[in-house]
């Protein structure tokens, strides 16, 4: 029987209604792994290659044929914005399925969360922090909510692998497994992976399962790359321009040569474009310059910004505008638009300066050229060079050279940075100790050590090291001994675990809410 015939009827109808010509190779491969094995699944393929559908088509078919007695599928994303985007896509797919989907993060509806706790079913979309909050603060509810959890889908695996959030996520999933007694299959999705076997090991942590990573031929693709360089020359004897007296090179908005912005204005005119920069400040600077030029030329204001400091409402409005076929929006962005948020078809992308690394370049390249187009990525560099009669060549633009190296590595060598595992993460060892003790209440030191050191991420940590950690936490009153010899959260520890920042293991800056009349910006 072919894969299409094995899909649930509502999925077959969806495929017909949306006029899909055929299932993509990765979608067929994913269905075969889910239908015919008990393995975990890792899908690594280009942006807009149908990975999300590849994961959900067989999973939803299983849920349709054998309804779960609790939440059946957990979708985990590093970004609330990505959850909101996937929610809209899933809602369309699930219209005739009678399978509910619920968003669960800080901005999601409390009413819908309470409804899900009372009648757990279908799909939950959640961030690692919200999942940890659930298992820490609503341990009893988790037993009912996830008693028959079948699948955990982890989006943007490469994002989780490279930092502490990934360890946090693996620990919380393993704690949930021990709490409920169920071992759901894991499905990892990623567009950029430098070393697939490392990602397989990461995905398998604590599951005791094998992982299958289908290799599908996406075929060769043509890519349009363009590089433009703009130079400001200043005589070092000019006291108004000498600054510190050193030769300087700048990319993008730091110097902001007028010719550069005039060029960007003309190049993006009537073209749907993302302009990537490497900082929020530079993004704002670039868009402000383009708005000014558009005003002088009496051109429409089609310029937007999209980064972590912009309100969720404005970001979503920008995403909706970019999806529209009629709007030719130009959006300045940072990493927030690197990931898989659906923004429709782009005419081009622009990178100001050098990308962070090869992985970032691959992600940004993948944002353009959808729906059969040749991807068009433009690099621009702005240099400020002081003329020195003894320095005929001028300073070397290392950003430019680094960009050439990144392009060569990806295009010619098909190479992306491997992400090595984070070993001996003692900061997360402390965090999970406090979280687990808050969730469980009083525990003996031996039981606590058994629970924590048996987690896959901490199995290589010596027991003596953990004993020293517990002794130190008792000494500074973050933990406290009971009269029965058990451990509970101490006076100082209560201040930490009850803080709203406790669940966040990455460094987050304090920010101010800015309003324009009644509009949050």
Q: Which of 103-107, 464-468, 494-498, 502-506 has the lowest mean pLDDT?
A: 502-506
Tokens read off for 446? 């031996």
Q: Cα–Cα distance between 196 and 388 in angstroms, integer?
A: 49
Cα distances from 63 to residues 60, 184, 423, in angstroms, run 5, 13, 36
CATH code at 338? 3.40.50.300
Asked if residue 206 and residue 230 are part of one domain, the reply reads no
Cα distances from 147 to residues 73, 78, 141, 142, 425, in angstroms, run 11, 24, 10, 8, 30
Tokens read off for 18? 């949306």
Asked if residue 404 and residue 311 are part of one domain, the reply reads yes
How high does pLDDT run on average in the chain?
A: 89
Last residue of some domain: 411, 439, 467?
Answer: 411
Asked if residue 38 and residue 83 are part of one domain, the reply reads yes
Asked if residue 144 and residue 288 are part of one domain, the reply reads no
Asked if residue 179 and residue 49 are part of one domain, the reply reads yes
Last residue of some domain: 148, 179, 212?
Answer: 212
Last residue of some domain: 212, 245, 263?
Answer: 212
Taken as a whole, the chain contains a residue count of 521
449-484 pLDDT, tens digit per residue, is 999 999 999 999 999 999 999 999 999 999 999 999
CATH code at 435? 1.10.10.10
| 8 A C-beta contact, residue 310 and residue 339 | no
Helix (H, G, I), strand (E, B) or coil at 353: coil
| 8 A C-beta contact, residue 61 and residue 93 | no
Asked if residue 107 and residue 28 are part of one domain, the reply reads yes
Q: Is residue 364 part of a domain?
A: yes
Q: Is residue 521 part of a domain?
A: no
pLDDT band at 241 (very low <50, low <70, confident <90, very high): very low
**pLDDT value at 97 more than 70:** yes
Q: Is residue 74 part of a domain?
A: yes
Other beta carbons less than 10 A from residue 1's beta carbon = 6
**In the predicted model, what is the mean pLDDT of residues 288-316?**
93
190-234 pLDDT, tens digit per residue, is 987 888 999 999 999 999 999 999 987 666 778 899 999 888 766
| 8 A C-beta contact, residue 154 and residue 26 | no
Asked if residue 441 and residue 470 are part of one domain, the reply reads yes
How many domains does the structure of the chain reveal?
3
Q: Is residue 369 part of a domain?
A: yes
Q: Is residue 265 part of a domain?
A: yes
Asked if residue 105 and residue 46 are part of one domain, the reply reads yes
Q: Which residue has the higher pLDDT, 476 or 249?
A: 476
Q: Which of 14-28, 366-380, 401-415, 430-444 has the lowest mean pLDDT?
A: 366-380
Q: Is residue 506 part of a domain?
A: no
Asked if residue 202 and residue 59 are part of one domain, the reply reads yes
Q: Is residue 218 part of a domain?
A: no
Structural domain boundaries, residue 466? 426-497
DSSP-assigned letter for residue 153? E
**In the predicted model, what is the mean pLDDT of residues 20-35?**
95
Q: Is residue 507 part of a domain?
A: no
Asked if residue 300 and residue 196 are part of one domain, the reply reads no
Asked if residue 230 and residue 171 are part of one domain, the reply reads no
Asked if residue 440 and residue 298 are part of one domain, the reply reads no
């Amino acid at each position: 029987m072919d894969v299409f015939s094995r899909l649930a009827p509502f999925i077959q109808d969806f495929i017909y209604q949306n006029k899909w010509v055929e299932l993509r190779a990765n979608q067929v491969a994913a269905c075969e792994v889910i239908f015919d094995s008990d393995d975990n699944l890792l899908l690594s393929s280009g942006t807009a290659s149908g990975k999300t559908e590849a994961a959900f088509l067989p999973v939803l078919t299983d849920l349709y044929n054998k309804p779960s007695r609790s939440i059946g599928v957990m979708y985990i994303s590093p970004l609330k914005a990505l959850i909101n985007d996937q929610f809209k896509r899933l809602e369309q797919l699930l219209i005739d399925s009678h399978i509910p989907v619920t968003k669960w993060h800080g901005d999601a509806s409390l009413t819908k969360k309470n409804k899900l706790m009372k009648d757990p079913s279908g799909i939950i979309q959640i961030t690692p922090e919200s999942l940890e909050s659930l298992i820490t603060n609503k341990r009893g509810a988790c037993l009912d909510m996830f008693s028959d959890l079948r699948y955990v889908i982890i989006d943007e695996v490469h994002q989780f692998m490279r930092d502490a959030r990934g360890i946090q996520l693996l620990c919380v999933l393993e704690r949930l497994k021990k709490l409920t007694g169920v071992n759901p299959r894991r499905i990892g999705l990623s567009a950029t992976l430098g070393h697939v076997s490392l990602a397989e090991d990461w995905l398998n942590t604590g599951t005791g399962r094998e992982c299958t990573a289908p290799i599908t031929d996406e075929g060769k693709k043509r890519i349009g790359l363009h590089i433009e360089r703009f130079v400001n020359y200043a005589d070092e004897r000019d006291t108004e321009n000498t600054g510190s007296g050193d030769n300087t090179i700048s990319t993008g908005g730091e110097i902001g040569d007028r010719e550069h912005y005039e060029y960007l204005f003309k190049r993006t005119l009537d073209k749907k474009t993302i302009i990537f920069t490497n900082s929020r400040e530079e993004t704002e600077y670039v868009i402000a310059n383009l708005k000014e030029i558009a005003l002088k030329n009496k051109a429409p204001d089609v310029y937007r910004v999209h980064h972590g400091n912009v309100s969720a409402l404005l970001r979503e409005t920008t995403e909706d505008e970019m999806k529209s076929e009629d709007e030719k929006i130009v959006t300045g962005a940072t990493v927030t638009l690197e990931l898989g948020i659906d923004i429709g078809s782009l005419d081009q992308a622009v990178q100001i300066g050098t990308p962070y690394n090869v992985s970032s370049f691959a992600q940004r390249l993948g944002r353009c050229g959808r729906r059969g187009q040749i991807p068009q990525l433009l690099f621009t560099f702005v240099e400020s060079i002081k003329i020195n009669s003894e320095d005929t060549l001028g300073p070397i633009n290392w950003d430019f050279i680094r960009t050439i190296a990144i392009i060569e590595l990806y295009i010619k060598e098909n190479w992306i940075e491997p992400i090595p595992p984070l070993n001996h993460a003692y900061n997360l060892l402390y965090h999970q100790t406090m979280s687990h003790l808050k969730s469980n209440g009083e525990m003996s030191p031996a039981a606590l050590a058994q629970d924590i050191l048996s987690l896959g991420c901490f199995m290589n940590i010596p027991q003596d090291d953990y004993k020293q950690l517990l002794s130190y936490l008792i000494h500074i009153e973050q933990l406290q001994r009971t009269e029965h010899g058990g451990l509970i959260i101490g006076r100082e520890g209560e201040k930490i675990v009850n803080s709203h920042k406790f669940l966040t293991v990455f460094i987050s800056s304090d920010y101010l809410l800015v309003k324009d009349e009644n509009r949050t910006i």
